[in-house]
Amino acid sequence: MIPMGLQGLQMRTFILETLRLYSPVYTGFIRDIGKEATLGNVTRLAGLQFHILINMVHHDPKIWGQDIHLFKPERFSEGIAKATNNNSTAYMPFGIGVHVCAGFNFTIDEAKITIAIIIQRYSFTLSLGYVHAPHPA
Residue ranges of the binding site: 101
Residues 6+ apart with CB under 8 A from 12: 76, 108, 112
* Amino acid identity, position 24: P
DSSP 100: S
Per the annotation, binding residues for heme are 101
- What is the dihedral sign for C-alpha 112, 117, 120, 124? negative
CB 78 within 8 A of CB 111: no
10 Å CB burial of residue 54 (0-12, 13-18, 19+) is buried
